[in-house]
Structure 1
């Protein structure tokens, strides 16, 4: 199988995930790690070629709807993923999205490699004896065909799990290898410093604020965006959503950058807990893009 790690364009725009294996230095300028890469500056084709995401698991509703894909490879060569976050509590209000640019040809190769690694709709990867772990969902589009595979506890299942056959274990190992390699793409030794990714649109998921007894005093902040809470994402969830773009997004992004995950936001005389969810290039329609979160 032909792997594509380490093959950046001369105008490489780095970014993302956690540490990996060595790769050759990229040619050309490394860019400035302090300058964010905005969607409008680089968007040409938001078609998703590869996406690795987590779905399900025993997680709060706000986390389920606010969860971002682990990594997305677009047809124009953008690779957007979750970068590292500080090990503090409460954590920053904004997720650390990062972006890397590879050539469209390399992006297409990553999609072909995903198919070769076993991304196939309906593939039987078994059900290991692990509870409450999210499924890894991998989608790849190659040769005009889209395939999706769902794997329970891809990295958590034991190699001796009696619920998995030898063929299932082998298939899972092959998929895990692909996921690990794509995840390591942007953190290999020799890569330029990461760049932040700032989206064109931002969703704010609001729910009633509930104070905790953790001893950490939170300073309420006036809400600088559209009146909260917005429309309920799904009936009965108690989670609501507003979305912003343009100058309104810039204002809200700046305010959120100074807040943490437990900051009480005051709107309409009431305090709200807000989860900030950047909308990715292929996610259009504002809050509607999140309604089918799993």
Structure 2
């Protein structure tokens, strides 16, 4: 069993070409429009590395006001081949206000968040970036560490409660900022897709395999995205990405993709604006 280290981790970095820059206020967001101003993501947990590589952040807010989230997913098996990513837009002052709200909730402080008495669940990582720097706060078992969770002090429950309120606010921006201040969600159109491949195997439950589909990109399985990972990954761009997205819309998570005479099960991960390729995917 994988027993995660809990507590909270804080990382502060200085400014750079892609780091915090100008904006409209004292806590202004990064100057690079593709720089992340605020992100919430799930990390760790007792999950297969291939699955973690294709996880999508819960919410990412960029310096130019773009907001990318994962929308509702169909509760079916096998699930869709592509995640339901949606994009909205908010004003720059709203971005700055949310960054300030995240810092006020404890992101960027050495808050004692404790560790609830649960194991093998993910941590929630909050990242904020502004002229004040980049800060990360990682809290183990945020959802599971509710007010009645054992193993926590009252102060730790209170601190976690503020982060739970922050998460709720960020995942309901129309309710937080007002519907007139948030554009209606539209499907996110990625410029590139990372594909994590493993050999395809038949289901033990006897379900009929979906039809095979020819892989439109570079030969699978590709190279591991980082050391210690045994899954291959390839990047699909341009016309091949357009063809892949059209085909994947009709496929599912168990579709056998054929490449090099073999069949592969492929996890498709649309790359976000701040990501450049497979190397940006992580199992941390």
For the aligned pair, the TM-score class normalised by the smaller chain equals 0.7 to 0.9
Q: Of 260, 280, 284, which aligns to 1:289?
A: 280
Which stretch shows the higher mean deviation, 234-243 or 80-89? 234-243
Query: How many equivalent residue pairs?
Result: 249
Aligned to 2:222: 230
Q: Distance in 1 between matches of 2:56 and 2:175?
A: 19
Aligned to 1:129: 117
Q: Distance in 2 between matches of 1:83 and 1:211?
A: 29
Aligned to 1:214: 205
Runs of 4+ with >4 A deviation: 186-193
SS at match of 2:171: helix
Cα deviation code 1:155-178 (max 9, x no counterpart): 112423342111111010011001
5+ long unaligned stretches in structure 1: 1-43
Q: Is the 8 A contact 1:112 1:142 kept in 2?
A: no
Q: Distance in 1 between matches of 2:94 and 2:273?
A: 19
Q: Distance in 1 between matches of 2:146 and 2:100?
A: 28
Q: Distance in 1 between matches of 2:207 and 2:175?
A: 34
Q: Distance in 2 between matches of 1:282 and 1:187?
A: 26
Q: How does 1:42-61 map to 2 (within 5 A)?
A: 45-61=33-49
Which stretch shows the higher mean deviation, 191-200 or 69-78? 191-200
TM-score (norm 1): 0.80
Change in 2 beyond 3 A, CA 1:244/1:71 = same
Aligned to 2:108: 120
Structure 1 residue 194: Cα displacement: 2.7
Cα deviation code 1:178-235 (max 9, x no counterpart): 1101101157895765310011111011011111132321211111111111112244
Cα deviation code 1:88-125 (max 9, x no counterpart): 11010000000110011111111111001111254321
SS at match of 1:198: coil
SS at match of 1:272: strand
Q: Is the 8 A contact 2:147 2:161 kept in 1?
A: no
Q: RMSD of aligned C-alpha atoms? A: 1.8
Q: Distance in 1 between matches of 2:56 and 2:146?
A: 26
Which stretch shows the higher mean deviation, 251-260 or 182-191? 182-191
Q: Distance in 2 between matches of 1:274 and 1:187?
A: 36
Change in 2 beyond 3 A, CA 1:236/1:138 = closer
Q: Distance in 2 between matches of 1:175 and 1:245?
A: 37
Higher relative contact order (CA 8 A, sep 6+): 1
Q: Distance in 2 between matches of 1:220 and 1:100?
A: 35
Q: Distance in 1 between matches of 2:231 and 2:157?
A: 38
5+ long unaligned stretches in structure 2: 1-31
Q: How does 1:1-294 map to 2 (within 5 A)?
A: 45-186=33-174, 193-217=184-208, 218-235=210-227, 237-284=229-276, 286-290=277-281, 292-294=282-284
TM-score (norm 2): 0.83
Q: Is the 8 A contact 2:111 2:159 kept in 1?
A: no
